[in-house]
């Protein structure tokens, strides 16, 4: 996938005259292969497949000076690709200079020829020729799980995603998602809280955090994982780019978990990619009446693995020696009577204070005191004006 034409033109304007001879042509000398790939990746219409063919030349830098007859004789691409490369030649010097500045910006451009380039991406026929990275890339020899779902998720879905991220982080399983609001960012945050590594695949340039409210997570991920994009710096978060990046989310993972999804959800694009790549898909079941569960329930109906215990994921990935914590077994024994009464009336879906008072039979003062204690001790949380049990403690 290439950036828009503005990327090459902006480089040219910012670096007028850089790397050019008196005739205005790009100086070539001993061209760096990374610079060639960087320049071609930012050239509209070239594409990763053509870039790979060009890199098979004995000297890839020949692309800067060869004529059309040689280009077609070497079967490097189409007429349109040849014309795009010709048009972009004046900007090679600027692209080379820009690549040199990336490191100072904390960004790496990792090409498909680099040992750091993820082997997992080999399943993609259109794997990016290069990736922009802030932080690190997922390690090939470490188990990896993608977690996706609704942006406008329920409090329950957010808790499940966060807890799953925690479990994966503690199990040393890499967490991959898209840094979107809702399920994505909850999984990222859970992994970070557990000291694990998590990776966000962006639908924009890595120099942009979208949505902006996830900036703290975006920043932390660069120290516990990384943020990654195939799109050039400065690329805006356009709607058409997000489905494209989904193939990378699934490719970088060994399995995919869908936590919450509507019947017609963007998560299904990631599911289709995962299935096409031969990956196992897990779905978290939900209530029949809940619109946010219709997508997951449909996936289960179609044959996806049903996820009823979050610890099944590290177990499936062959992570052994992990003891399941008793999430709530000892909770009831350590709570006061009023707290037990209220806690027994709760589940993972929020209930209003009035409903809890009515179900428990407690007086208002006792109920409010018990709710305060439960919340302070981390057994429940206030969500959407009501109270629900927490999954993590």
In tens, the pLDDT along 126-148 reads: 999 999 999 999 999 999 999 99
pLDDT beyond 70 at 333: no
Supply the CATH classification number for the domain 134-316. 3.40.50.450
**DSSP code of residue 203:** S
User: Under 8 Å CB-to-CB from 330, ≥6 apart: which residues?
Assistant: none
Q: Is the Cβ–Cβ distance between 128 and 248 less than 8 Å?
A: yes
Q: Which residues lie across from 198 on neighbouring strands?
A: 175, 225
Distance between CA atoms of residues 205 and 71, nearest Å:
31
**Is the CB of residue 281 less than 8 Å from the CB of residue 304?**
yes
Which residue do the tokens 């399943």 mark? 123
Which comes out higher in pLDDT, residue 372 or 97? 97
In this structure, are residues 166 and 324 in contact, taking their beta carbons and an 8 Å threshold? no
Which residues neighbour 322 within 8 Å (Cβ) at sequence distance 6 or greater? 170, 171, 311, 314, 315
Domain boundaries, the chain: 5-102, 134-316, 331-389
Residue 301, pLDDT score: 87
Task: Give pLDDT tens digits for 71-116.
Answer: 999 999 999 999 999 999 999 999 999 999 998 899 999 999 999 9
347-359 burial string, b = 16+ CB within 10 Å, else e?
eeebbebeebbee
State the sign of the Cα–Cα–Cα–Cα dihedral 206, 209, 215, 217.
negative
What is the residue whose two structure tokens read 């999804």? 261
Highest mean pLDDT of the ranges 7-16, 105-114, 363-372: 105-114
DSSP structural state of residue 322: P
191-205 confidence digits (pLDDT tens)? 999 999 999 999 999
Q: Tell whether the model's pLDDT for residue 153 goes beyond 50.
A: yes
Q: Does domain 331-389 have CATH number 1.10.10.10?
A: yes
């Amino acid at each position: 996938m290439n950036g828009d034409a503005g990327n090459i033109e902006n480089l040219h304007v910012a670096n007028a005259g850089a790397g050019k001879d008196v005739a205005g042509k790009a100086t070539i000398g001993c061209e760096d292969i990374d610079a060639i790939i960087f320049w071609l990746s930012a050239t509209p219409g070239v594409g990763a497949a053509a870039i790979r063919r060009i890199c098979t030349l004995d000297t890839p830098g020949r692309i800067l000076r060869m004529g059309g007859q040689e280009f077609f004789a070497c079967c490097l691409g189409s007429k349109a690709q040849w014309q795009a490369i010709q048009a972009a030649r004046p900007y090679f010097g600027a692209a080379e200079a820009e690549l040199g500045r990336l490191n100072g910006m904390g960004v790496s451009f990792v090409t498909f020829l680099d040992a750091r380039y993820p082997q997992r991406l080999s399943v993609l026929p259109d794997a990016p020729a290069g990736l922009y990275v802030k932080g690190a890339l997922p390690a090939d020899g470490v188990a990896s799980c993608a977690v996706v779902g609704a942006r406008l998720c329920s409090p329950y879905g957010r808790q499940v995603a966060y807890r799953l991220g925690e479990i994966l982080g503690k199990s040393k399983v890499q967490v991959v998602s898209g840094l979107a609001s809702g399920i994505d960012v909850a999984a990222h945050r859970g992994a970070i809280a557990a000291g694990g590594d998590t990776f966000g695949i962006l639908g924009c340039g890595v120099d942009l955090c979208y949505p902006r409210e996830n900036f703290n997570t975006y920043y932390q991920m660069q120290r516990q994982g990384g943020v990654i994009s195939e799109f050039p710096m400065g690329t805006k978060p356009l709607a058409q780019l997000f489905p494209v990046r989904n193939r990378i989310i699934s490719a970088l993972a060994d399995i995919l978990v869908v936590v919450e999804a509507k019947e017609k959800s963007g998560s299904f694009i990631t599911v289709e990619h995962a299935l096409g790549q031969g990956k196992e898909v897990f779905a978290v079941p939900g209530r029949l009446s809940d619109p946010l569960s219709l997508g997951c329930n449909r996936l289960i109906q179609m044959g996806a693995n049903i996820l009823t215990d979050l610890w099944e994921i590290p177990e499936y990935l062959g992570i052994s020696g992990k003891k399941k914590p008793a999430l709530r077994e000892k909770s009831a024994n350590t709570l006061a009577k009023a707290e037990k009464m209220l806690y027994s009336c709760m589940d993972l879906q929020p209930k209003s204070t009035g409903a809890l008072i009515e179900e428990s039979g407690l007086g208002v003062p006792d109920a409010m005191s018990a709710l305060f204690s439960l919340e302070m001790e981390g057994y429940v949380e206030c969500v959407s004006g009501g109270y629900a049990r927490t999954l993590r403690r």
